[in-house]
């Protein structure tokens, strides 16, 4: 019984050490020679004109997140739809509840106007 916990502890320690060691090593081994040219903003080889910090509308990100959420959720529905004829009633009801939650989320985002490009 303790040997199983030993393996878990070992994996936990290794899981903590493996990402930390390269970060610490790169901090000490990387060259640090900053100068104004290295610190300047670079945009595809074109010299920047004006302020390089441009504020984007959050609506673009929200639209992308909503698309990603619904895209991933429809991927979860695919195996459920394939096995629909073999599933018990409880699994069918769970799938219907899941679809209703998706419809509620889509309705919410639609009414908030997050899907409109204004």
Rounded mean pLDDT, 24-42: 85
- 117 band by pLDDT with thresholds 50, 70 and 90: confident
Asked if the model's pLDDT at residue 74 lies above 90, the reply is no
Q: For residue 80, what are its two tokens?
A: 């459920």
Q: Domain-by-domain residue ranges, the chain? A: 2-111
The phi and psi torsions of 43 (rounded to 5 degrees) equal: -130, 90
The answer, yes or no, to whether residue 9 has pLDDT greater than 70, is: yes
Kindly report whether the global pTM for this prediction surpasses the value 0.95. no
Number of H helices, E strands in the chain: 4, 0
Is 111 in contact with 66 (CB distance < 8 Å)? no
- CATH code reported for the domain at 2-111: 1.20.58
More confident of the two residues 28 and 64: 28
């Amino acid at each position: 019984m303790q040997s199983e916990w030993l393996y878990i502890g070992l994996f936990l320690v290794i899981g903590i050490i493996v990402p930390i060691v390269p970060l610490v090593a790169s901090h000490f081994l990387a060259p640090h020679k900053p100068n104004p040219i290295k610190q300047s903003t670079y945009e595809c080889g074109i010299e920047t004109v004006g302020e390089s910090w441009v504020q984007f509308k959050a609506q673009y990100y929200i639209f992308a997140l909503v698309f990603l959420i619904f895209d991933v959720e429809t991927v979860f529905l695919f195996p459920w739809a394939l096995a629909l004829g073999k599933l018990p009633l409880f699994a069918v009801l769970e799938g219907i509840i899941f679809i209703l939650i998706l419809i509620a989320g889509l309705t919410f985002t639609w009414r908030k106007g997050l899907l409109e490009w204004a």
